[in-house]
Amino acid sequence: TDMGQVFQKTQSIIERARSKIAHVGGVILEQVLFVNAVAQSLVRAPEYGYARKILEEYMDHLPDEISPKLLGSLYQSLRGAYTNIGDFNKALSYAEQALIVSLEGATYTDISDAAFVLAVSKTDRGYKLPNRSPLIRLWFSNTITFLSSWISVDRLMGYHQQEVDKCCWLAFVENTM
């Protein structure tokens, strides 16, 4: 079947990459190639769920040498996969994990980017709450506060692009209330 072929091709790509890396060496290189192969599968065939399953299994057995940036990217990939299938609770959880990991050693740029992704995930999740309920207003108010705080930090850190992006997203969230 097509689904079986996608799974086999993904596995084959990963195994070939691992074999070459084992010959040459380099844990970080192995991680990067793995993420690239799985990310391509997430994009090409998100409905099958194979890449998502493979990535989740990989996340259960992470090497000790994984960098915060790469781990954050893995969490953000899973966040995107779950957003694509409409599971906004899992997407939000992975976005939160990406920010937490970034705070533990990534660059400020990566941290701020992860905060923006979390704001988007919070907004996506908020749309699943009942319209015009006090809960949805509270949810979006929390998202607005989160964004406002990060806009101030981006301004202080001189990260103008994320400041602008977060301001635009803030206006979008405010208009939904």
DSSP the chain: -HHHHHHHHHHHHHHHHHHHHHHH--HHHHHHHHHHHHHHHHHH-TTT-HHHHHHHHHHHT--TT--HHHHHHHHHHHHHHHHHTT-HHHHHHHHHHHHHHHHTT--HHHHHHHHHHHHHHHHHHHTTSPTT-HHHHHHHHHHHHHHHHHHHHHHHHT-HHHHHHHHHHHHHHHHH-
pLDDT of residue 173: 92
pLDDT of residue 143: 96
Q: Which amino acid is at 150?
A: W
pLDDT of residue 39: 61
Each residue's pLDDT tens digit in the chain (177 positions)? 566 666 677 667 666 656 655 555 555 555 655 666 666 666 556 555 677 777 788 788 877 778 888 888 888 888 888 887 889 999 999 999 999 999 988 889 999 999 999 999 999 999 898 888 899 999 999 999 999 999 999 999 999 988 999 999 999 999 887
pLDDT of residue 112: 93
d(CA 75, CA 57): 13
d(CA 96, CA 73): 12
pLDDT of residue 17: 59
d(CA 95, CA 155): 22
Q: What are phi and psi of 147, to 5 degrees?
A: -65, -45
